[in-house]
Structure 1
Amino acid sequence: MSRDLENRIALVTGASSGFGAACVDAFVAAGARVVAAGRRADRLADVAGRHPGRVHVLPLDVRDRTAVERSLAALPPGFAEVDVLVNSAGLALGLEPAQRASVDEWEQMIETNCAGLVTVTRALLPGMIARGRGHVVNIGSVAATYPYPGGNVYGATKAFVRQFTLNLKADLLGTPVRATVIEPGMAETEFSVVRFGGDAERAKKVYDGMQPLTPADVADTILWCVTRPPHVNVNAIELMPVAQAFSPFTVKRG
């Protein structure tokens, strides 16, 4: 087994499930120690239980700027000098058209997908630059590029993630710190369950008759990015299941 991340430290937000939990597993297998951050402490404990001594559990809501700054400044020895940050915390809520959508849900997506991501990044970036190594990986979405009915604010937040990542790359010129955005298409996680307010049956129908991406597929892609030679920066990767593709523009006639 490759140990490309031996003696490295990664911090993964949204680590209690989905892409985040899969990244914890992949990074530990590659030799890293991992700070697993997320809101659900019980789920984080389950993830850490698979890797005794290799994972530090950090209950954290990325929307709470004070808690983020305090917690990340107080990471214990052995986990404090973060080399790889994976901003995986994020969510989609609702699928209503803009004129009927919930402003509360819009705000929650903006606070998590945008504000939380930049707060965590800003807290860890100075240390990476000071130590002369680091990699920020942000989880975007194909929704950043391809709009769909009901995607409104969710798609807009992911477009923000993409552009923020590319602007990070511009700011980091002259340092060895890298920045990457990963943009998955359809992937079976808790994404649709959350979007549909816990309606597991409705969420399951999203993937009927096709094989979506898995969390492990996305984690493997992220692991590949962070284990490239130090002079290589992967700016962006867009990936979809084979069963997903693009549609023609729709036209309302009459």
Structure 2
Amino acid sequence: MLIAEDDIQDINQILLAETGTFISPDKKNLIELRLSSRIKELGFIDLQDYLAYLKMNNQERLIFFNLLTTNYTNFCRESYHFEILIKELIPQILKTKDEISIWSAGCSSGEEAYTIAILLNHFFANKLNFNILGTDINTEVLRAAKTGIYTQEEINRLKPEYLFNNFQQGVGKYEGYYRVKAQLRENIKFEHLNLNKFAREGIKKKFDIIFCRNVLIYFNESNRKRVIAQFNQSLTKPGFLILGHSENINLAKAENNSIWEKIARNSYQKI
């Protein structure tokens, strides 16, 4: 199946309306690869028939989003942010409270959320209670996150002590797999969330720290500003927002600079 430039515009029209994100036209080959088998499976002749079907089928739209969202992640990715978390942010929060709430927005298959939990357990055992919320629009990766099961290759960035203390090694048919131990999983909840709808409606829960790394690069400027404004509303004061290294967003120079202070690279404090 070949996709024309007009087709990409039609795809982006749906993505922008529903998720606030878009796909660059230079990803044309990737779009063809991800959608062609699904379109063939459903028996449609071309993309336009499939897009018309999407408008009438909520369940298929979820599958469509699953196919087109990017979900690259790994344990301890962009480790600089975790150093800030452990050395600066948590000690500052602990001065006033001993219970911390963290949100991993765009959590993919859960590696970021579990990395945070592992580090909090290791460095602040018995000093704080924590809960972590992981959210993503992709229902497939959320299912993987909830199981907490990873391959040897996926956990190879973890230090041996982190692996030993926080994972169970699979045996039999699960040989070569590792599962996050139940006592750590109990501190983490994974939920389906569309950040575009969150940006319009918000959520009631307040967080001390929000990680949203390498997610906002897929949003256009107006939707990105709306999401960031809602993040501000969802943070305690003071609260912290951690963005990804790939995101060239400087909130200290943004229109709403009165509510953010840059504290480190891609890291901001609500003020």
Normalised by the size of structure 2, how large is the TM-score? 0.32
Normalised by the size of structure 1, how large is the TM-score? 0.34
Richer in helix (by share): 2
Richer in strand (by share): 2
Q: Which has the larger radius of gyration?
A: 2
